[in-house]
């Protein structure tokens, strides 16, 4: 497993293409959700990339406090469909939380989670705050974590 943590300017075009292709495959096609994935925020993000044998298998993007939410945040958590039973989602969440602590020196992290993944995020110390809401037609909840 190769783990890369990069700013937008450090992404090569091939890696960026793979990231956008995976996000589109899962969030637009698989989830049948037409939305603006390329939202102008990638330039501000720290990109967490997991590759297996040079193939992208998992990805997140992380933000400093005040960029996306008041708190630091993790978003676009995605694992390629054929690799979902290999624990990469759990691994990349641990790496993302650690990256936020290292790069942004904060312990408070917020995410906008798809409701069906609440237990997954609970297992990483994230807990629901407030009421659920629809985002791009998909039920979501706000979740916050204070890392130890």
Q: Residues 2-8: what's their mean pLDDT?
A: 97
Residue 38 belongs to domain spanning: 2-106
**CATH assignment at residue 57:** 3.40.630.30
Task: Tell me the C-alpha distance between 1 and 14, whole Å.
Answer: 18
Residue 29 lies in a domain: yes
Residue 145 lies in a domain: no
Mean predicted confidence (pLDDT) in 4-10: 97
In a domain, 42, yes or no: yes
Q: Residue 128 and residue 115: Cα distance in Å, rounded? A: 10
Q: Evaluate if residue 147 carries a pLDDT over 80.
A: no
Helix (H) or strand (E) holding 96: helix 88-104
3-state SS, residue 26: helix
Task: Answer whether residue 125 is part of any domain.
Answer: no
87-145 pLDDT tens trace: 999 999 999 999 999 999 998 999 999 999 999 999 999 999 999 999 988 999 999 99
Question: Which pLDDT does position 146 carry in this prediction?
Answer: 67
Question: What pTM was computed for the model?
Answer: 0.93
Question: Is 132 within a domain?
Answer: no
Count: domains in the chain: 1
Question: Does a structural domain hold residue 88?
Answer: yes
Sheet architecture: strand order including 127-135 = 2-7, 46-52, 55-63, 72-79, 108-114, 138-146, 127-135
| pLDDT one-digit tens code per residue, 14-63 | 999 999 999 999 998 888 888 888 999 999 999 999 999 999 999 999 99
Is residue 23 one of the residues assigned to a domain?
A: yes
Q: How far is CA 32 from CA 35, 115, 119, 137, in A?
A: 10, 16, 23, 10
Whether 28 is covered by a domain: the verdict is yes
> Where does the pLDDT of residue 148 fall: very low under 50, low under 70, confident under 90, or very high at 90 and above?
low
Q: What is the DSSP letter of 45?
A: P
| Residue 24 CB neighbour total at 10 angstroms | 13
């Amino acid at each position: 497993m190769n783990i890369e943590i990069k700013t937008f300017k450090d992404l090569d075009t091939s890696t960026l293409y793979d990231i956008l292709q995976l996000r589109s495959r899962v969030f637009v096609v698989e989830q049948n959700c037409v939305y603006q994935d390329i939202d102008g925020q990638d330039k501000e993000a720290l990109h967490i990339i997991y590759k297996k044998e040079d193939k992208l298998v998992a990805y997140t993007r992380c933000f400093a406090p005040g960029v996306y939410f008041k708190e630091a945040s993790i978003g676009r958590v995605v694992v390629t469909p054929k690799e979902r039973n290999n624990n990469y989602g759990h691994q990349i969440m641990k790496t993302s939380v650690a990256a936020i602590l290292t790069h942004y020196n904060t312990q408070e992290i917020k995410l906008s989670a798809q409701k069906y993944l609440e237990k997954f995020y609970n297992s990483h110390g994230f807990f629901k705050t407030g009421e659920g809401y629809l985002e791009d037609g998909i039920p979501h909840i706000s979740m916050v974590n204070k890392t130890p």
